[in-house]
Chains A and B, each alone.
Chain A
Amino acid sequence: MEKKKNRFLNWAKRQFTPFNIIIFAILTLYLLVLVSMFIWAFVNSLRSTLNFSLNPVGFSPIEQAKIDASTDIFATLKEIYKFENYETIFKNLKSGNPLVAKSNQYYLDSMFMFSALYAIGCTAANVLCMSIMAYACTMFPCKLSRAIEAYVIFSMVFPIIGAGPSQMNVMRSLGLYNNFLGIYFVSFGFGGTYFLVLTAAFRGVPKDYKEAAELDGASMLTIMVSIMFRMVSNILGAIFIVSFIGYWNDYSTPLLYLPSYPTMAAGLANFIGSTSGPIAGEPFKFGAAMICVLPLLVFFIIFQKRLMGNITAGGIKM
């Protein structure tokens, strides 16, 4: 009993240091803000625009009068908080090219499809290109490989600012503007942090595997795909997931270079700014945000361990 008590006291002494207490308090506050933000948005996404504008923090006078007069509180609350708002969002939330007066308008299902096409295609193009280049640079050391690695670091340290107009100009001239193949081509680049993570990962694979495969007569392509890529598959998977999330959430690129195919993020960005129409009220905006959160939340729950376990797997040094 005494032993247990001592162990507990030691544990408490270790855990409840002034530093831990302060950081714990800050993190708890962080959590409370995050959770309350989503709860507030969800609750208000079920209210009517009029009631929300009358009182965004508590019950509006209309709602209060209903509650005061009610005999069945649950039935009254059901009347105030309506899931029909979500039905209205699904029926009315649409987006098109904001720069064209009478452009095609797409509903949520199409936006979801555009998001999938954009995120999967761009991630595949980007990760494929990065992994091929990282493999080439680590397995075939030569001046060109070293120059490519040096360029990647250079481009991270010195991003050339203001190249956007030029990129637009080039994309328009080459027919890459406003089509998926064009945007896939733009994504087929090898610059960025994950290139460095992948080169570190390939360097970390013991050479024995490659040499054994060579002795067995495996072709260079087989060694690359079946042995080396498989050895770094955990890191490749994590990079794929992180890139996918990045592309899924990216609204700025589709808005600029793919304006006729609004993704969910781009459609939501257009929708947030809208001030007219049947779903221009704030509750509908919260509802649309909730709908957009859902796929990623499910994705995060499924891949959370893989994502957070491997994101730091490769060391980066500049």
Chain B
Amino acid sequence: MITKFEWNDKRKRAVKKWSFYAALIILPLIQWAIMYVYVNINSFLLAFRRFDPASETWSFVWFDNFVSLFNDPSMAGIWEYAIWNSLGAWGISVFVGITLQLLFAYYIFKKGPAGQFFRVVLFLPSILSATVLISIYKYYADVFISKIFNLTDSQGLGIISNNNTRFMSIMFFNVYMSFGVGVLMYTSAMTSISESVFDACKIDGVNALQEFFVIVLPQIVPTITVFIVTGIAGIFTNQINLFSFYQQRAIPKIQTVGYYLYIQIYNNGSNYQYYSQPAALGIMITLVTAPVVLFARWGMKKVNPMED
């Protein structure tokens, strides 16, 4: 039987507890309401509205902005190149980037020669500004590497200046600089695998590659899932550092959707009439990406033997 005094005391404590909880979350929630909820609702509305600079008013144009995405000649580059480049960049970073990250992580985990030293070396580019690295790499690849390895074309253009090799040279840079955090995460995930599993492998005479594919890889699928799913979610926001390479002047052939969207805001900061088309494109791409991400997450969970 609870006395009235005890009940009052309990109630007082509950009020105190939940008041403290409310005090903690109120400010972050206000920020979230403005910078996430309101911004996204506004973005949704922008896709259906258009700004008239003469009268300085907004009007509803329904699906005109979406239709113009297909009709507007200035959007041709998006359909012809940007979407495919974004997908290509993702493909390269997954198949080349993640594969190498996993192999490097396994090497470090198995205490290969100078493993700890390479761990630091691989992490180093992650802490340096992309702008700094690009300001060097741009000339190093275009002038030094192209000349030393005779990669210049008939006109004397290096691999960054040559339109045919430009995109791959930029992707090489992106993959080259992206190992740090991934390698650390995968090494950490490998460390959490029970020692007894490796002891059993040793007794069974399993070699390094078998151990990697049969034991290690299945055990770290959850960590790989995080990288793949967040990677898919970021396909169309990734500008593959094009702004650092070319500022606003990247040629359409190498542009990605992320770069296009960034440049639209950068160039037209205060010109509201240019806001609607990127907003419409964003909504369309979000609608396409969302089910793909869900499907990938579901698929990764299915292939994860640890889920059983």
Contact = CB atoms under 8 A, between A and B. Distances in A.
B163 interface: no
Given A163-B43, A189-B36, A268-B135, A158 B269 contact: no
Contacts of A30: 118, 121-122, 176
Nearest to B186: A312
A201 to B, nearest CB: 14
Interface residue SS majority, chain B:
helix
B216 to A, nearest CB: 12
Given A27-B122, A159-B237, A251-B129, 5 more contacts: A27-B107, A56-B143, A170-B34, A256-B262, A256-B266
B34 A165 contact: no
Given A37-B136, A40-B144, A300-B127, A269 B247 contact: yes
A190 B28 contact: yes
B282 A285 contact: no
Contact of B279 (A37, A165, A251): A165
B2 interface: no
Given A23-B112, A286-B136, A164 B21 contact: no
A230 B230 CA distance: 30
B16 interface: yes
B281 A162 contact: yes
B24 interface: yes
Contacts of B113: 15, 20, 24
Interface secondary structure of A, over-half rule: helix
A19 B121 contact: no
B305 to A, nearest CB: 15
B30 to A, nearest CB: 9
B143 A24 contact: no
Nearest to B137: A37
B244 A251 contact: yes
B285 A162 contact: yes
Nearest to A133: B28
Interface in B34-60: 34-36, 38-40, 42-43, 46-47
B243 A169 contact: no
A156 B233 CA distance: 7
Contact of B119 (A38, A272, A308, A317): A308
